Structure 1
Amino acid sequence: MAILRESNADTLPVYEGNSFIANISYEDLIDFLNQLDNGKNIYFHKLNFDLGTVLIKTRDKKLKPKKISTILVRVAVIAFTILGFAWFSFNNNKIEWPAAFRNETKVVNSKSIVPGSNKATLTLANGETISLSGSQTGIVINGSNITYSDGTRIEAGNEHNSSTSQFNDLKLSTPSGGQYQATLADGTKVWLNAKSSLKFNLSFANSAQRKVELNGEAYFEVTKNARQPFIVIASKQQTEVLGTHFNISSYADERGIKTTLSEGSIKVSSLAVQPNQHDNGVILKPGQQSTFIVDKPIEIDQIDADDAIAWKDGKFAFRKEPLESIMRKLARWYDVEIVYQDPEISKQILGGSFTRSEEISSVLTTLELTGDVHFKIQGKKVVVAK
Structure 2
Amino acid sequence: MTVPSNRNRLQKLARNYLKGKLTVSEQQEFDEWFLSEDAEETILEIGLTPLEHKRLMLARIHSEAGIVRQEARRRWLWPRIAAAASVIIILSYGAFLLFPGKPVKKQAAHAIQDIAPGGNKAILTLANGEKVQLNGTKNGFIAQQGGVTIAKREDGQLSYTGGQAAAASGELFNTVETPRGGKYQLTLADGTIAILDAASSIHYPVAFNGDQRSVQITGQVYFEVVHDARRPFKVSVKGQVIEDLGTKFNINAYDDEPVIRTTLVEGSIGLKTSSQYIILKPGQQAVNSTGNPVTNVVAVDIEDALAWKNDNFLFNNEPLESIMRKISRWYDVDIQYQKGFNLKESYLGGLTRYSNVSQVLKMLEITGEVRFEIDGKTIRVMQKKRNNI
1:291 is aligned, of 287, 311, 316, to: 287
The alpha-carbon distance between structure 1 residues 133 and 73, as it changes in their structure 2 partners (threshold 3 A), is closer
Query: Against the structure 1 CA distance between its residues 210 and 363, is the aligned structure 2 distance closer, same or farther, given a 3 Å change threshold?
Result: same
Residue number in structure 1 paired with 2:248: 245
Identical amino acids, percent of aligned pairs: 38
Give the 3-state SS of the residue equivalent to 2:304 in structure 1: helix
Amino acid at match of 1:320: N
Deviation at 1:282, TM superposition (A): 1.1
Q: Structure 1 residues 174 and 153, CA, compared in 2 at 3 Å: closer, same or farther?
A: closer
What's the CA shift for 1:119? 0.9
Partner of 1:317: 314
Task: Name the counterpart of 2:33.
Answer: none
Alpha-carbon distance change, 364 to 135 in structure 1, aligned in 2, over 3 angstroms: farther
Preserved CA contact (<8 Å) 2:127 2:174: yes
Out of 112, 120, 124, the position equivalent to 2:114 is: 112
CA contact (8 A) 2:67 2:96 kept: no
Matching of residues 166-315 of structure 1 within 5 Å: 168-204=172-208, 206-270=209-273, 273=274, 279-293=275-289, 294-315=291-312
Deviations 1:321-341 (A, max 9, x none): 000001100110000001110
> Contact 2:171–2:207 at 8 Å: present in 1 too?
no
TM-score by length of 1: 0.72
Q: Which amino acid in 2 is paired with 1:288?
A: Q
Q: Aligned pair in 2 of structure 1 residues 322, 135: CA closer, same or farther (>3 Å)?
A: farther
Paired with 2:235 and 2:188, the residues of 1 have a C-alpha distance of 13
1:347 Cα shift? 1.1
Give CA deviations for 1:274-323 in whole Å, capped at 9, x if unaligned: xxxxx341111111111122333101111111111111111111111000
Change (3 A) 1:305 1:345: same
CA contact (8 A) 2:108 2:358 kept: no
Q: Distance in 2 between matches of 1:304 and 1:126?
A: 42
In structure 2, the CA distance between the partners of 1:105 and 1:183, relative to structure 1 (3 Å rule), is closer
What do the CA deviations read for 1:14-33 (whole angstroms, capped 9, x no partner)? xxxxxxxxxxxxxxx99999
SS in 2 for 1:133: helix
Q: 1:356 aligns with which of 329, 348, 353?
A: 353
Structure 1 pair 209–104 and aligned structure 2 pair: CA distance change class (3 A)? closer
Partner of 2:124: 122
Q: Does 1:35 align with 2:49?
A: yes
Q: Contact 1:139–1:182 (CA<8 Å) still a contact in 2?
A: no
1:371 aligns with 2:378: no
2:305 and 2:340 map into 1 onto residues whose CA distance is 26
| Aligned-residue RMSD, C-alpha | 4.1
Contiguous gaps of at least 5 residues in structure 2: 1-17, 29-42, 83-90, 98-104, 159-166, 384-389
Name the CA distance, whole Å, in 1 between partners of 2:324 and 2:156. Answer: 37
Residue in 1 that maps onto 2:11: none
* Map of 2:24 onto structure 1: 8
Other-structure match for 1:98: none
Distance in 2 (CA, whole Å) between partners of 1:72 and 1:365 is 17
Tell me which protein shows more helix as a share of its residues: 2
Q: Is the 8 A contact 2:263 2:305 kept in 1?
A: yes
Three-state SS of the structure 1 residue aligned to 2:309 is helix
Letter in 1 for 2:202: L
Structure 1 position 57 matched with structure 2 position 37? no
CA drift of 1:7 comes to 5.6
Amino acid at match of 2:222: Y
Report the residue type matching 1:342 in the other structure.
Answer: K
CA contact (8 A) 2:177 2:199 kept: yes
Q: In structure 1, what is the equivalent of residue 344 of structure 2?
A: 347
**Match of residue 97 from structure 1:** none
Check conservation: 2:96, 2:351, Cα contact below 8 A: no
Asked if residue 382 in structure 1 is aligned to residue 379 in structure 2, the reply is yes
C-alpha separation between the residues in 2 aligned to 1:110 and 1:122? Answer: 35
Change (3 A) 1:266 1:362: same
Question: In structure 2, how many angstroms separate the alpha carbons of the residues matched to 1:357 and 1:167?
Answer: 38
Whichever residue aligns with residue 325 of structure 1, its letter is: S
Cα 1:181/1:230, change in 2 over 3 Å:
same
Cα deviation for residue 372 of structure 1 reads 0.5
Q: Does 1:79 align with 2:78?
A: yes
Q: TM-score, normalised by structure 2?
A: 0.71
Task: Count residues with an aligned counterpart.
Answer: 322
Q: Is the 8 A contact 1:217 1:249 kept in 2?
A: yes
Contact conserved, 1:138 with 1:181, CA < 8 A, in 2? no
